[in-house]
Amino acid sequence: MSPLRRFLRAPEAVAGAILLSALMAMALSASLLFPSDPQAIAGPALLPPFQDWSLPLGTDRLGRDVLAELFHGARTSLAVGLAAAAASLAIGAVVGTLAGFAGGLVDEVLMRITDAFQTVPGFLLALAFVSVVGPSLGAVVIAIALGTWTGPARIARAEVLSIRERDYVASARAIGMHPLEIAFREVLPNALPPVLAMSSVIVAAAILTEAALSFLGLGDPNRVTWGGMIAEGRTVLRTAPFLSIVPGMALVLTVLGVYLAGEGIVETTAVRRGLS
């Protein structure tokens, strides 16, 4: 049975995939469906949802279209989540591979740096970084990656330690391959599967961290973010709770979708590896 068929047989994986595709459709269609600036005023302030069908989810405190904000916010969440996870996996894989493959002093130094990053709470690190560098999308991505690369680094190192003793690494040395080429071409690709298995957890955590930073006002001010929308709605929580509930639901569904789809992929590939 092909991995795709096996993936489609798991209901939770399919549910995750549907949620994720919906999110991606939202992100991709945002500028088509809502071409005007989502931060522009579109109608009367604090219009409740399902009252005016030109503004289906109503408006916020300043009269901005909530649905348009939601669609544009999907872009930010997705972009930050994927970019931060990619950055974190890339840093982790490179550091872990170098540490495991080089051994000795290099290993010691790199792993002590990893320890240092791991002992500082990731969110605090992100908070400190963004408040120093200033809120922009790039800074948020780096801030999140700074707190999450240690997990992938440890897993990559453990995997590399076992791979570097294999015969094919010895034969790569015997044909005179450069150590860096051995590390990144022979060892790293074979150490990746367990590292990639972490990606869904990291994407989900990154989306939440981004929302939390925006909630605290440390997101990119020029972009609509779900965290920012929740923060905005907080001031009118008693009179217009939908302003916080709508982006909150979007966050929950997104994280759930990423997690379920990621687990589904890990499960299907694990079965395939187990069989071979």
Partner 1 sequence: MSLLAASNLTKRYRRGGKTVIAVDDVSFHIEPGETLALAGPSGSGKSTIARLALRLIEPDAGRIEFEGGDFLALRGATLRARRARLQMVFQDPLAAFNPRATVARALDDPLRIHGIASRGERPRRIAELLERVGLPADLASRAVHEISGGQRQRVAIARAIATKPSLIVLDEAVSALDVSVRGQILELLLDLQREQKIAYLFISHDLGVVRAVAHRIILLDAGRIAESGEARAVVDAPRSAIGKALVAAAPRLDRSIRHNAP
173 binds partner 1, rule: CB under 8 A: yes
Site membership for partner 1, residue 170 (CB under 8 A): yes
Q: CB under 8 A: which stretch of 85-93, 141-149, 167-175, 204-212 binds partner 1? A: 167-175
Please report, as a single letter, which amino acid is at residue 184. F
Q: Is 178 near partner 1 (CB under 8 A)?
A: yes
C-beta of 34 vs 184, nearer to partner 1: 184
CA-wise closest residue to 199 among 249, 149, 235:
149
Q: Does 186 bind partner 1 (CB under 8 A)?
A: yes
By C-beta, is 51 or 171 nearer to partner 1? 171
- In the block, residue with structure tokens 């905005």: 232
Is the CB of residue 218 less than 8 Å from the CB of residue 135? yes
Residue 36 Cβ, how far from partner 1 at the closest point, in Å? 49
Q: Is the dihedral of CA 145, 150, 154, 155 positive or negative?
A: negative
Question: Quick check: 176 binds partner 1 (CB under 8 A)?
Answer: yes
Residue nearer to partner 1 on the CB measure, 131 or 190: 190
Q: Of 104, 105, 167, 274, which one interacts with partner 1 (CB under 8 A)? A: 167
What the block records as the tokens of 98 is 């170098």
Beta strands in the chain (DSSP E): none
Instruction: Give how far Cα 195 sits from Cα of 12, 15, 78, 155, 156, Å.
Output: 22, 24, 20, 6, 6
Any contact of residue 168 with partner 1 (CB under 8 A)?
yes
* Three-state DSSP state, 30: helix
Q: How far apart are CA 272 and CA 1, in angstroms?
A: 9
User: Please, which residue, 142 or 188, has the CB nearer to partner 1?
Assistant: 188
Contact positions vs partner 1 (CB under 8 A): 166-168, 170-178, 186, 189-190
